[in-house]
Amino acid sequence: MSASTPSLLAAAREAAAHQHYPQGALYMVATPIGNLADIGLRALQVLSLADTVACEDTRHTASLLQGYGLHKPLLALHEHNEAEAAQTVVQRLQEGQRVAYVSDAGTPGVSDPGARLVSAVTAAGLRCVPIPGASSITALLSVAGSPRTGGWDGRFVFAGFLSPKAAERQREVQHMADDARACVLLEAPHRIEALAKDLAALGERMLTVGRELTKQFEEVAHLSAASFPAWLQANAHRTRGEFVLLVHPQAADKAEAGALDTATQRTLDLLLTELPLKTAVKLCADITGQPRNTLYEAALARRKDRQAEAD
C-alpha cells in the first residue's frame, strides 16, 4: 500500500476534507480488522488531522499508521490503564486538541477498550465523534444467510466474548438454548476449543463460523453446533486466529415445538393467579423444566388475553 499512499491520502482529503472536524473532540475511529485496504477515507482524514492518537497498543498502531504514511504522537490507552489514561485524553481535549482513539482492530468500545474513555469525555462535557468502518460482526452477518431456516429477519443478540469461567460460560450457552433469536459471539484462539465444546450442547442448531476475516487465511463455515468441535480438530490451523460466530435462530418448527403443553400451561395459570409474573415464571420453570423465555412469553400472552377479556 505504501506505493499508493500519497494518492490515498489525497483521495481522503478530496472526499472528506469538506466536513467540519472540531477541535477539542474525541474521534472514535474504526480501523481494519485485518486488511489494510479496508480503511475508510474519513478515518484517514481524521487520523491525519489528529494531534494525538490514543490506542490500545502503541507498537501495533505505529505500524498501522506507517502503512498509510502517517506519523503521530501516540498515547497508550488499554484495559489496564483506561481510567487513568482517559483523564489525560480529557486534559488534551480541554486544551483544544483533536484526539483519535483506535483499538487494535475494528470499532473501539465494542468488545474492546474505549467505553470508559467515552464516558469520561462525555462526563467532562466534551464531544465524541464516531468514525465507522470495518466490523467483523457485520462482515460475518453479510455471508451467514440461514441455511437451515431459509432466511431470517436480521435481528440478533450480540453477546461478544462469553465468560472465561467454564461454569458461567455453560450457563450463558444454556440461555442461548432457551432463546430462539440469533446470537453473535467473539472468541480468541486460545479459548475457541472450550467454547466449541460448550456450544455443542446446542445440537443441530446451525452456526456460521468466521475465522481470520479479511485476512489471507480467511475461512467461513456453516455447520451444526454439535459438529463444531470435530470441525476444529479436523485441521490444526483452524484453532488459530480471531473468531466471530453466529448462532443461528432456532428453526420455525423448533420454536413451535416450544409451545406449552396443557399441564405446563395449567401450572403457569395457577401460579399467575397467586404470584407476580416473574416469580410465577421462575417457579414454573423450576417445576416443569421448561425454558424461562418460553414461559415468560406465554405468561405475557396470557395476561394480554385476560386484559382483553376484561375490556
CB of 57 closer than 8 Å to CB of 85: no
Does residue 59 surpass a pLDDT of 70? yes
Residues near 186 by Cβ (< 8 Å), separated by ≥ 6? 111, 136, 160, 161, 242, 243, 244, 245
Q: What is the pLDDT of residue 188?
A: 95
How many domains would you assign to the chain?
Answer: 3
pTM confidence score: 0.76
pLDDT the model gives residue 264? 83
* Burial profile 271-302: b = 16 or more Cβ within 10 angstroms, e = fewer: bbeeeebeebbbbbbeebebbbbbbbbbbeeb
**Cα-flanking dihedrals φ and ψ of residue 130, to 5°?**
-80, 135
Evaluate if residue 254 carries a pLDDT over 60: no
101, three cell numbers: 482513539
For the segment 96-102, the average pLDDT, to the nearest whole number, is 98
Does 56 share its domain with 147?
no
The domain boundary residue, chosen from 134, 160, 183: 134
The domain spanning residue 227 has which CATH number? Answer: 3.30.950.10
DSSP string, 195-210: HHHHHGGGTT-EEEEE
Which domain CATH number covers 35? 3.40.1010.10
Domain ranges, residue 272: 258-310
Cα atoms found within 13 Å of the Cα of residue 81, Cβ hemisphere only:
12
236 and 297 both lie in a single domain: no
Residue with cell 461454569: 167
Q: In what order do the strands lie in the sheet with 74-76?
A: 74-76, 52-55, 99-102, 25-29, 127-131
- Is 72 in the same domain as 175? no
36-57 pLDDT per residue, tens = 999 999 999 999 999 999 999 9
